[in-house]
Amino acid sequence: MTPPSKLALVPFLSVEGMMKLVLSRGIERVLRELAEAIEEDFRRWPAFDKTPRIASHSPVGVIELMPTSDGALYGFKYVNGHPKNMKEGLQTVTAFGLLAEVATGYPVLLSEMTILTALRTAATSAMAARALAPKNPRAMAIIGNGAQAEFQALAFKAICGIEEVRLYDIDPAATRKCARNLATSGLTLTQCTSAEEAILGAQILTTVTADKQYATILTDNMVGAGVHINAVGGDCPGKTELHRDILTRSSIFVEYPPQTRVEGEIQQLDPDHPVTELWQVLSGAAPGRTDPRQITLFDSVGFAIEDFSALRYVHGAIQGTGLAQMLDMIADPDDPRDLYGMLLRAGAKAAA
């Protein structure tokens, strides 16, 4: 039996490999490059197949598939969201993804996406803020200091020039953890004891909490004119972070309306409430911020094209690095019509 051909061996980037890639390039560089890859694909949005993620909900969480294709490459991500996991010492979100050639259907990359999802979410947030936030923002609040918080802080530093981050979480230990991890980042860090304190002086307000419930992390009276809200935590039916009245005062920008109207903050609004798709702003087809006193809101739920961009970026970044393991995933018989014969020959070889 001949060894598998190169086409039958699929590069696999493990968690260890992903960490080595990020550390070797530097996390801020990776975040900037991811933002560039995501923006590049948003600018060619019409080229992609688009569908809301395919979700399987349970009382304790959700498991989802997120597919898309640009006609040349196909990608999907498997991801879960289980807020209860944190109390059990498990990750709230885990993920892996695959990138394949449309022409053959053969995979060209299998990758962990737990770390990569955190990176692409932060990169997308900062990319959106670069287009929507007030000019030259210097301070941001991060309400919810769990697994995503450090990535958000570093992305806004690298992409938007943020210098100060004001941290708050209902669990003070999470805030201390976040501040400790960012201690050498060059950011000025302020640990706050309430959401109200955290937003003082901040031009960008990020909410990234995990509880699967209708919540009011920001009340209407907390949000003044001229800020940008980066709403990250509300990402499934029945899970929100902002008071409805904030939404009615804001200019709302979304990834893909058919998905966001079900999963995002705007699930609280009428189905025909006007929103602007972010790709339209990035491609110049629609305006972003038009007034210094305007409240802009990026109602971020995560969309498959962002994961496609992240996988495309990683596929390019690992070339020549030796970071990927080669997996024998594709059956490769000598004769494509003789799959059973391949099995027989393997049995004969094992018996010899």
Residue 239 DSSP label: B
| Region of residue 105 (left: phi > 0; alpha: psi -120 to 50; beta: else) | left
Over residues 117-125, the mean pLDDT reads: 97
pLDDT tens sequence across 58-70: 998 889 999 999 9
**pLDDT exceeds 90 at position 126:** yes
Which pLDDT value is given to residue 7? Answer: 64
Taken in order 274, 275, 280, 285, the sign of the CA dihedral is positive
**pLDDT exceeds 60 at position 246:** yes
The strand order across the sheet containing 164-168 reads 188-191, 164-168, 139-143, 204-207, 228-231, 296-299, 251-254, 276-277
Q: What is the separation, in whole angstroms, between the first and last Cα of the chain?
A: 13
**Residue with the larger pLDDT of the pair 148 and 235:** 148
Domains of the chain: 6-115+306-341 (3.30.1780.10), 134-302 (3.40.50.720)
C-alpha span between 179 and 128 (Å, rounded): 24
**pLDDT exceeds 50 at position 2:** no
Which pLDDT value is given to residue 214? Answer: 62
**pLDDT exceeds 90 at position 352:** no
Q: Catalytic residue, from 41, 70, 169, 235: name it.
A: 235
**pLDDT exceeds 80 at position 101:** yes
Q: Which two tokens mark 292?
A: 């210094």
The helix (run of H) or strand (run of E) holding residue 44 is: none
Catalytic site includes residue 307: no
Q: Which two tokens mark 234?
A: 């509300």
Mean pLDDT across the chain, nearest whole number?
94
Selection from 206, 31, 226 nearest residue 119 by Cα:
31
Over residues 282-287, the mean pLDDT reads: 97
240 three-state secondary structure: strand
Whose structure tokens read 């600018």?
Answer: 43
Cα angle 294, 137, 233 (rounded to 5 degrees) comes to 75
% the chain with pLDDT above 70: 97
Q: Which of 79-93, 185-199, 205-219, 298-312 has the lowest mean pLDDT?
A: 205-219
pLDDT tens sequence across 13-45: 999 999 999 999 999 999 999 999 999 999 999
pLDDT tens sequence across 182-235: 999 999 999 999 999 999 999 999 999 866 566 788 999 999 999 999 999 877
